[in-house]
Structure 1
Amino acid sequence: MKRTLSSPIARWGVRVQSTVIAAIVVAVALGIGGAVTLYMLHRANTDAMYRSTARQAYQIATAITHGGPAAVDSDDLAPGAGVDVMQVLDEQGAVVVASPGAPTGAVTLAGYQSAGAGTVPADDSPVYADDVYIPGFHGEYCATAVTARYAGQRYSVIALDRASGIRSSEWTMASIMAVELPMVVILGAGAVYLLVGRSLRPVSRISRRVNEISASRLGQRVPVPEAHDEIRALAVTMNGMLRRLESSHDAQLRFVGDASHELRSPLTTVVGLLDLADDSHTAIDTETVRAVLLPEARRMQHIVDDLLLLARADERGLPLQRIEVDLDDIVGAEIARLKSSNTVVVEPHLAPVRVVGDREMIARAVRNLTDNAARYARSRVSLSLRADGDDAVITVGDDGPGIPEAQRERIFDRFARVDADRRQGSGAGLGLAIVREIVRAHGGSVAVAEGTGGGVDFVVRLPLSADDGPLEGRGRRSVLPQPIAGSAHGLDG
Structure 2
Amino acid sequence: MADPTRAAHPRGDHPRGTRRRVTTALHRITRHPRIAPLLERLTPRSVRARTTLAACASVAIVLFVASAAVLLLLRVNLERTVETGAREQAQAVARLASDGHLPPQLALDHGTDFIQVTNNNGKVVAASQNLAGRPPLTPTATRDGHETYDLGVLGDEHHQRVTTLTADTPAGPVTIRVGASLHTADTAEDLTTAALAGLSGVLLLTVGLLTWRATGRALRPVEAIRAEVAAIGDRDLDRRVPEPRSDDEIARLAHTMNAMLDRLEAAGTRQRRFIADASHELRSPLTVLRTQLEIALTHPQPDVRTDLVAGALQDTERLQVLANDLLLLARLDATGHDRPDEPVNLTELVRTAAAPGAARAHPIALHAPEEITVTGNPLWLGRLLTNLLDNAQRHARSLVTVRLTTDGTTGDVLLDVSNDGPRIEPADRERIFERFTRLDDARSRDEGGTGLGLPIARDIAAIHGGTLIAEDTPDGTTFRTRLPGART
* Pairwise TM-score range, normalised by the shorter structure: 0.7 to 0.9
Is the contact between residue 241 and residue 258 of structure 2 (CA under 8 Å) also seen in structure 1? yes
Quickly say closer, same or farther: Cα 1:111–1:456, change in 2 above 3 A: same
| Aligned mate of 2:434, from 390, 413, 431 | 413
Is the contact between residue 470 and residue 477 of structure 2 (CA under 8 Å) also seen in structure 1? no
Quickly say closer, same or farther: Cα 1:434–1:228, change in 2 above 3 A: same
Question: Could you say which residue in structure 1 is the equivalent of 2:100?
Answer: 68
SS of 2:470's partner is strand
Could you report, residue by residue, the CA deviation over 1:195-220 in whole angstroms, capped at 9, with x for unpaired residues?
Answer: 33332211110011112222332222
For 1:4 and 1:96, the matched residues in 2 are separated by 68
1:103 equivalent in alignment to 2:132: yes
Give 1:451-470 correspondences, 5 Å limit.
Answer: 451-459=473-481, 461=483, 463=485
Q: Give the aligned residue type for 2:434.
A: D
Is the contact between residue 402 and residue 454 of structure 1 (CA under 8 Å) also seen in structure 2? yes
Question: Could you say which residue in structure 1 is the equivalent of 2:307?
Answer: 287
Is the contact between residue 128 and residue 144 of structure 1 (CA under 8 Å) also seen in structure 2? no
Quickly say closer, same or farther: Cα 1:277–1:42, change in 2 above 3 A: same
Is the contact between residue 347 and residue 383 of structure 1 (CA under 8 Å) also seen in structure 2? yes
SS of 1:216's partner is coil
Give 1:80-479 correspondences, 5 Å limit.
Answer: 80-105=109-134, 107-108=136-137, 110=139, 133-140=151-158, 141-151=160-170, 153-171=172-190, 173-174=192-193, 185=204, 188-274=207-293, 285-290=305-310, 292-316=311-335, 327-328=347-348, 330-331=350-351, 333-336=353-356, 340-341=359-360, 343-344=361-362, 346-351=364-369, 353=371, 355=373, 360-385=379-404, 393-404=414-425, 408-409=429-430, 411-417=432-438, 419=439, 423=443, 425-440=447-462, 445-459=467-481, 461=483, 463=485
1:17 equivalent in alignment to 2:50: yes
Is the contact between residue 328 and residue 351 of structure 1 (CA under 8 Å) also seen in structure 2? no
Q: What is the TM-score when the length of structure 1 is the normalising length?
A: 0.74
Quickly say closer, same or farther: Cα 1:131–1:435, change in 2 above 3 A: farther
Is the contact between residue 349 and residue 382 of structure 2 (CA under 8 Å) also seen in structure 1? no
Is the contact between residue 354 and residue 465 of structure 1 (CA under 8 Å) also seen in structure 2? no
Question: Could you say which residue in structure 2 is the equivalent of 1:475?
Answer: none
Q: Give the aligned residue type for 1:259.
A: A
Identity %: 30
Compute the displacement of 1:23 (Å): 4.5
SS of 2:354's partner is helix
Is the contact between residue 326 and residue 352 of structure 1 (CA under 8 Å) also seen in structure 2? no
Is the contact between residue 148 and residue 154 of structure 1 (CA under 8 Å) also seen in structure 2? yes
Q: Give the aligned residue type for 2:110.
A: A
SS of 1:336's partner is coil
Cα RMSD over matched residues? 4.3
SS of 1:149's partner is strand
SS of 1:215's partner is coil
Is the contact between residue 140 and residue 148 of structure 2 (CA under 8 Å) also seen in structure 1? no
Question: Could you say which residue in structure 1 is the equivalent of 2:87?
Answer: 54
Quickly say closer, same or farther: Cα 1:161–1:296, change in 2 above 3 A: same
For 2:339 and 2:146, the matched residues in 1 are separated by 91
Q: Give the aligned residue type for 1:331.
A: R
Could you report, residue by residue, the CA deviation over 1:297-354 in whole angstroms, capped at 9, with x for unpaired residues?
Answer: 221221111000110121136998968657446535535257x54x435433343646
Compute the displacement of 1:437 (Å): 3.5
For 2:257 and 2:149, the matched residues in 1 are separated by 69
Uncovered stretches (5+) of structure 1, i.e. residues with no partner: 114-126, 467-493
Question: Could you say which residue in structure 2 is the equivalent of 1:469?
Answer: none
Compute the displacement of 1:178 (Å): 6.3
Quickly say closer, same or farther: Cα 1:18–1:427, change in 2 above 3 A: same
Uncovered stretches (5+) of structure 2, i.e. residues with no partner: 1-30
Is the contact between residue 403 and residue 456 of structure 1 (CA under 8 Å) also seen in structure 2? no
SS of 2:221's partner is helix
Is the contact between residue 139 and residue 148 of structure 2 (CA under 8 Å) also seen in structure 1? no
Q: Give the aligned residue type for 2:112.
A: V
Question: Could you say which residue in structure 2 is the equivalent of 1:484?
Answer: none
Q: Give the aligned residue type for 2:452.
A: L
Is the contact between residue 139 and residue 164 of structure 1 (CA under 8 Å) also seen in structure 2? no
For 2:81 and 2:484, the matched residues in 1 are separated by 89
SS of 1:403's partner is coil
For 2:383 and 2:154, the matched residues in 1 are separated by 114
Q: Give the aligned residue type for 1:69.
A: H
Compute the displacement of 1:440 (Å): 4.7
Question: Could you say which residue in structure 2 is the equivalent of 1:487?
Answer: none
Is the contact between residue 116 and residue 128 of structure 2 (CA under 8 Å) also seen in structure 1? yes
Could you report, residue by residue, the CA deviation over 1:219-260 in whole angstroms, capped at 9, with x for unpaired residues?
Answer: 222122234433223222212211111111111122122222
For 2:167 and 2:152, the matched residues in 1 are separated by 23
Quickly say closer, same or farther: Cα 1:170–1:464, change in 2 above 3 A: closer
Quickly say closer, same or farther: Cα 1:211–1:361, change in 2 above 3 A: closer
For 1:169 and 1:358, the matched residues in 2 are separated by 85
Is the contact between residue 334 and residue 367 of structure 1 (CA under 8 Å) also seen in structure 2? no
SS of 2:436's partner is coil
For 1:435 and 1:17, the matched residues in 2 are separated by 53
For 1:379 and 1:40, the matched residues in 2 are separated by 100
> Which deviates the most, 406-415 or 3-12?
3-12
Compute the displacement of 1:373 (Å): 1.0
